[in-house]
Structure 1
């Protein structure tokens, strides 16, 4: 009985802690659990014309900033001579939104039908032909980034510069602002490793902060840098410099206001839970789910209580079986 209870306690702890934190994958990031950072977008291009004939496929990363518009890098849309253009360049460009695992279910696959180039910065906007209304978009930063600030990056890029295929799951890493120019931000990886860095196909991926209420604000997008993984900075386009232009493009393309449905006693249903706040200040990839840990410890204490109860029962049963002690005369 004692062995069974101990085994159950250990199993409960293993199951609880097994789902508590993300696994460190490789030097350039952590894998992202399902349901996290739904605003992250993968832009997949099918049949891009190639100079001299033929086609190729490619992809970029991006971030949802309104129901129809995705923020990404300007160089993700180039003609056969490498010039940035304000139009889709592939036969078909698909934005995958709200799905951390590309092979999983849920989320949306929406066709991109329009592109707007910012012009000065390596920043562009891609419009989808259908609105995504069940994912909370990124907010636009309106203030200049500060050196030393910590931000997070999410992207669907390669794991190493030598890889031939992008992963099927979104990845993330923690970065520090190490330089600020008029148009760009230097971002240096700090967690999960000192060489955490964006890679090819992470172009356009959002660098963002997460407030305590779960609101994510984009401060920059991946533009250019050395081959990954590497130490030192990559460059990102500053969002605060182009926030007014972005707003002029998306205009009133906002999430529809929810219509409260009446429940008992005239109350409204509870709002959807916000995304968990980032744990950037602790240099950890994700916030530790203390609720799960508490549940696991409570389970252990419960099992210990069962063990003690079982021991007490055996002692009482043994006492009843023994004959009463008689004093010798």
Structure 2
């Protein structure tokens, strides 16, 4: 099990060469779809020895000036999650499916709020995004067998992680419901469709409702259970801070 967005990048410098992969064994998202999916690019992330590195996460717009992502995407040099002023420069891009042909909507992250209930954080943007419809954070408890869409900017494989340049999607089924997390398995286009490196924070949604957020899982691609953070248990917390 790994904290995908950051553990791999802690020992590897992110390549700037073009890459054309994302959710492992997923499929291309058509242009104009899922504009609420955010690509988070972080630089100058600190290590204990004083050096820094760059990394990526995925997230979802849940209010015009707030993105929901995984809490561990924002941490100090000792990997302890942090709240307050964004700990390192972070660019958030929305309304984008293909970096080769689109520019998307770019904002800077200014503040991070960590949830107590699970590994989730809210990220404030420096100005609202008014041309993209946010996801609604569901208040309904998920059920085993429920199918969800995953969309993210992750890598094709854990063995050679590279940030995506093309947004990917896949379908998963809820396999296990715990008090604050969900276990999900790949359903389509393959049973090995799964989140991967840099998908941390990626939304699992049904229609316009956010049901869960990517947390961690086995090396990808895989047919095992992926651990996600339930959105319904932080719905009140999210509403309080984004109102």
Scaled by the length of structure 1, the TM-score of the pair is: 0.66
Is 1:71 aligned with 2:63? no
CA RMSD of aligned residues (A): 1.5
Report the counterpart of residue 242 of structure 2 in structure 1. Answer: 250
Is 1:86 aligned with 2:83? yes
Larger radius of gyration: 1
CA drift of 1:245 comes to 0.4
Query: Are the counterparts in 1 of residues 23 and 151 from structure 2 also a CA contact under 8 Å?
Result: no
- Listed as ranges, the matches of 1:132-147 within 5 Å are 132-147=129-144
Report the counterpart of residue 226 of structure 2 in structure 1. Answer: 234
Per-residue deviation, residues 198-231 of structure 1 (Å, max 9, x unmatched): 0111000000011xxxxx1100000111110111
Per-residue deviation, residues 249-303 of structure 1 (Å, max 9, x unmatched): 001xxxxxxxxxxxxxxxxxxxxxxxxxxxxxxxxxxxxxxxxxxxxxxxxxxxx
Per-residue deviation, residues 89-139 of structure 1 (Å, max 9, x unmatched): 22x100000111123334211000000000230000000001100001101
Query: Are the counterparts in 2 of residues 28 and 228 from structure 1 also a CA contact under 8 Å?
Result: no
Q: Flag the structure with more relative contact order, 1 or 2, with Cα contacts below 8 A and sequence separation at least 6.
A: 2
Report the counterpart of residue 10 of structure 2 in structure 1. Answer: none
Scaled by the length of structure 2, the TM-score of the pair is: 0.88
Query: Are the counterparts in 2 of residues 73 and 124 from structure 1 also a CA contact under 8 Å?
Result: yes
Aligned mates of 1:25, 1:96 — CA distance in 2: 16
Normalized per residue, the structure richer in helix is 1
Normalized per residue, the structure richer in strand is 2
- Listed as ranges, the matches of 1:41-190 within 5 Å are 41-87=38-84, 88-90=86-88, 92-190=89-187
Shift in CA distance, 54/155, structure 1 to aligned 2, threshold 3 Å: same
Q: How many residues align?
A: 222
Aligned mates of 1:25, 1:249 — CA distance in 2: 30
Moved over 4 A (4+): 24-27
Shift in CA distance, 26/206, structure 1 to aligned 2, threshold 3 Å: closer
Shift in CA distance, 144/201, structure 1 to aligned 2, threshold 3 Å: same
Query: Are the counterparts in 1 of residues 22 and 154 from structure 2 also a CA contact under 8 Å?
Result: no
Q: Structure 1 stretches of 5 or more lacking a match?
A: 1-23, 211-215, 252-329
